[in-house]
Structure 1
Amino acid sequence: MNFSREDVEVYLQAVRRVIREGPFDATWDSLSQYQVPNWYQKAKFGIFIHWGLYSIPAFGNEWYSRNMYIQGSPEFEHHRKTYGEHKTFGYKDFIPQFQATNYDAEEWAQLFADAGARYVMPVAEHHDGFQMYRSDISAFNAYDMGPKRDLMGELETSLSERSIPFCASSHRIEHWFFMGHGKEFDSDIKEPLTRGDFYWPAEKEYGTHDLNAPAPSEEFMEDWLARCCEIVDNYRPKVFYFDWWIQHPAAKPYLREFAAYYYNRAAEWGAEVAINYKHDAFMFGTAVLDIERGQFAEQKPYFWQTCTSVATNSWGYTENNHYKTSYSLICDLVDIVSKNGTMLLNVGPKADGTIPDQDRHILLEIGEWLRVNGEAIYGSKVWRQAGEGPTTIEEGQFTDAEQKQFTSEDIRFTVNGSYLYATVLQYPEDGLVHIKSLADQDASKLPHFSGIIKDVTILGYEEKPVWKRTSSGLQCKTTQVQSDKPVVLKIELD
């Protein structure tokens, strides 16, 4: 069905009643009382899923729905050659082709469990406006069209059976402008567009990161708020992720309303939840900051998240994805966790619902490493410093395209219980590891560590290293340890 504006208003009246009656109200002052869930801070590793209509053309990236309407773009030309003119075959015409015939939520959930994921987050609605779940607000959803299945709900059920927290993301706000280029020539995107139309509103794009662009209308933002609250009500996600354009000033009052509603509903359920945001869309301390395709160079006193993907060119499936290695992703995971972060790693399933072999291979290799070394990751805390070594980490978003060249001197630290974990990102062939931060020095000089080391072992190996502590560092020597993945030294402290 399609909600009328009156239906949305009635629903939002109920939303605002929850806000009035709950512990949080829609102000930054109230929302600043929010506490990041303990389970989330312990999880350290989650799976992100970009799956939708854009996986049918599998060309370019997940922005196909926008780019196919930009005249002269590779997607524009590909679309004409493959599917015909835009006025006869537009983006909406992919909906009947999206059947998800091989989608098996049980298989997905088991793969994510085997990968060692401690939370899973499918994209509920991408910028293209097609909902991957059952919705009463718009008919353009996977339950009423295409596969006619509640794809997201099936995954939520399968994850719950494995006690893996279910999360969700909404990229709906970018739909305000995402399809606007289709109005610039003879395509299937034509005025008048009204609420309930798939392409509505398809406003002019002033630049995808232009926060001075004309504000989304009240009608659109109320529809946005209703869609987000519907996901909360029907699926109870443990984390709710937003993409970048919620940074627009016009979104601020609606963001505060959503956060108050979500946190109040979670209080009703007795659940701990979180919101992910980018840039400064939320007041600091009211939600969890996300760094897209990048990370911090230094350890932070606050909990944060990196979202990244197994492929460098696209979040969704394409026929020519450029894949990272499992080694590089494990190194990123270790680095992020040592700096008080968590990593949300994306995969892009094919249109039929199968997860590509390369995505699967990467996930299983990460899972194999975590089964051996997970105690250095899950539930760990930061040490006095994140690490040591010569390789610098470029700070900021979209810095993950180049694989970092780590050395045997690049080491990251975490603490769990009475153990300090030193993860050597590139284990030396000669088996000699030198950890400068653990030098035996005069405590009066206030080094990073002046405590007592009782023993050193290596996770996953029977060989015990020969170790000694000198004024230049902790030296560990092995003769049999060889690995193409990071190696974790488990250091028992007294």
Structure 2
Amino acid sequence: MYDMTKYLNTIEDVIAGGPYQDTWESLSRYTVPEWYKNAKFGIFIHWGIYSVPAFGSEWYSRNMYVKDSPEYKHHVETYGRHKDFGYKDFIPMFTADKFDPDAWAELFAEAGARYVVPVAEHHDGFQMYESEISHWNAAEMGPKRDVLGQLEESCKKNGMEIGASSHRVEHWFFMGHGREYDSDVREPMERGDFYWPAMPEPESLQDLYSEPMPTEEFLQDWLVRCCEIVDKYRPKIVYFDWWIQHSAVRPYLRKFAAYYYNRAAQWGSEAVINYKHDAFLFGTAVPDVERGQFADIKPYFWQTDTAIALNSWGYTEHNDFRPAEDIICDLVDIVSKNGCLLLNVGPKPDGTITQEDKAVLLKIGAWLKTNGEAIYGSRVWRRYGEGPTQVVDGQFSDSIKKNFTSRDFRFTTADGYLYAIAMKCSGDGEYCIRSLGIQDASRQANFHGIIRDVEVLGCGEKPQWSRDQEGLHIRSGFVGDGPVVFKLELE
């Protein structure tokens, strides 16, 4: 069993050395790095043992032990009884024999991503990196490769920042159902073992005070694992999934944030923490909206994380893939509201990325090559947009089809230009941007500026345009599948 004492002492020493202490007051001095606010688009990667059964979702490791669940029935029918073939027995099948980190990084760069966040450890407790804390990791088992380390090297070669995602805290209960009957989870275990601690699952996963509460031993183990990732890979982003908001975790969150921010300061680097559900005090890290977005512009920077597949974050044989055009519209909408998009792919167990994922990524990349100046490094305008289509506010809304029209516009600003982005190409080539009409004294002022010229990005021909009190009228013969970007030169 790994002795955590030395690492815990190091953590306290780094915190004591400042500039950040493990208090909300101290952490409130945090500021979001400019590179992150400029990047706008990143790639999330859910890849692990759960890609081997490729059934249901990335929660297979939990659900296969839940009696009468589809995963439980599938497991018994396909692999046998749980006491004879448990989740750990998928590890030798996770060979990743076609994993090419350079090819991944080149694809993500071609897609226009500026940062990449692989899942370092999912709820199942299998580390996708080399670790001294547990032998249950990809460098020693399964692929026998330091996946996170190799991706870090490849992403940096392709000009992208690397992050890491930890879902470890949910492991407190994630394998707990396996203790309810004769399965391999009931084998004797201690800290460092794969299934440990496999505690009973809370009745409500949103209960901040649910019992049994995570113990000091488990939380210290969680903290050391997170800090090991920071020290070994120096990620620019650390993403946390939900359940870190549990009351027992709060003191350890503050310790981690102080440690991570202090390490970044020591290295002359910068750090970002993504969180959900008010787990961090507002202003001490970057809030994240899972599979959804905000309906209105925000005065603070935020992130959406979503996936190309609607049904699962990891690879399954029946993933339901979203069209690239819908995701591009989401990206535009999110950026116009002061956010960024972290888009997930789920590779196959052999390390290849599905053709469906590739096609979506390449379409996004093609759009960004033409229109990226309206996205990268952009800032919000006085209003995010206009139009009849309303975006549902909040998480888990990405399955709701938005059906944007050519009357829906989003605005960004960059390098002295105003960008008006039509969310759908007009069938007749006619556009009217009402927010940019000429104002008179009787109307509430929206825009009193002078427009000198209008350009359609990706179109060789100049559009016809005029302004009146109804709006800015544009006529263009440009035809495209995604949003149409009008670049406005102002007087």
Work out which of the residue numbers 87, 106, 111 in structure 2 matches 1:110: 106
Matches within 5 A, 1:230-241: 230-241=228-239
State whether structure 2 residue 198 is matched by structure 1 residue 213: no
The counterpart of 1:160, out of the listed 156, 160, 176, is 156
Aligned residue among 222, 229, 234 for 1:224: 222
- 1:389 equivalent to 2:381? Answer no
TM-score, normalization by structure 1: 0.98
Stretch of structure 1 that moved more, 183-192 or 8-17? 183-192
Residue of structure 2 aligned with 1:366, choices 364, 389, 392? 364
CA contact (8 A) 1:465 1:477 kept: yes
CA distance in 2, matches of 1:427, 1:236: 42
Alpha-carbon distance, 1:43 to partner: 0.3
Task: Tell me how far apart the structure 2 counterparts of residues 456 and 163 of structure 1 sit (CA, whole Å).
Answer: 32
Could you tell me how far apart the structure 1 residues matched to 2:17 and 2:339 are?
Answer: 33
Match of 2:36 in 1: 40
Select 1:244's aligned residue among 226, 242, 252. Answer: 242
1:61-114 CA distances to partner (integer Å, 9 max, x unpaired)?
A: 000000000000000000001100000000000111111100000000000000
1:321 to 303, 319, 322: 319
Q: Is the 8 A contact 1:68 1:75 kept in 2?
A: yes
SS of alignment partner, residue 213 of structure 1: coil
Q: Does 1:484 pair with 2:477?
A: no
Is contact 1:26-1:257 (8 Å) kept?
yes
Match among 11, 35, 56 for residue 7 of structure 2: 11
Contact 2:64–2:72, Cα closer than 8 Å, also in 1: yes
Judge conservation of contact 1:61–1:317 (CA < 8 Å) in 2: yes
Equivalent residues in 2 for 1:85-484, closer than 5 Å: 85-190=81-186, 192-206=188-202, 207-214=204-211, 215-442=213-440, 445-478=443-476, 480-484=477-481
* RMSD over aligned Cα atoms: 0.9
| CA deviation map 1:29-50 (0-9, x unaligned) | 0000000000000000000000
Q: TM-score, normalised by structure 2?
A: 0.98
**CA 1:57–1:445 in 2, change beyond 3 Å: closer, same or farther?**
same
Q: CA deviation at 1:213?
A: 1.2
Aligned amino acid, residue 329 of structure 1: I
Q: Larger deviation: 192-201 or 113-122?
A: 192-201
Q: CA deviation at 1:22?
A: 1.8
Q: For the Cα contact (< 8 Å) 2:439–2:446, is it kept in 1?
A: no
Q: Is the 8 A contact 2:37 2:340 kept in 1?
A: yes
Relative to structure 2, which stretch is displaced further, 348-357 or 189-198? 189-198
Instruction: Give a deviation string over 1:252-300, Cα, whole Å, max 9, x none.
Output: 0000000000000000111111100001100000000000000000000
Q: Distance in 1 between matches of 2:400 and 2:294?
A: 16
CA distance in 1, matches of 2:441, 2:74: 66
Contact kept, 8 Å, 1:86 with 1:188, in 2: the verdict is: yes
- CA distance in structure 1 between the partners assigned to 2:128 and 2:446 by the alignment: 49
Is 1:84–2:80 an aligned residue pair? yes
SS in 2 for 1:267: helix
- Deviation, 1:194, is 1.1
Amino acid at match of 1:353: G
Query: SS at 1:463's partner residue?
Result: coil
Partner letter of residue 212 of structure 1?
Answer: Y
CA distance in 2 between counterparts of 1:469 and 1:44 reads: 31
Check if 1:27 corresponds to 2:23.
yes
| Structure 1 position 443, deviation (Å) | 6.4
Residue 191 of structure 1: CA displacement? 5.1
How far, CA to CA, are the matches of 2:375 and 2:458 in structure 1? 14
1:365-397 alpha-carbon deviations (Å, 9 max, x no partner): 000000000000000000010000000000010
Amino acid aligned to 1:142:
A
CA distance in 2, matches of 1:9, 1:446: 64
Residue 402 of structure 1 and its aligned partner are, at CA, apart by 2.1
**Distance across 1 between alignment mates of 2:481 and 2:163:** 33
> The residue matched to 2:258 in structure 1 has which SS?
helix
Paired residues of 1:443 and 1:450 also in contact (CA < 8 A): no
Q: Is the partner of 1:246 in helix, strand or coil?
A: coil
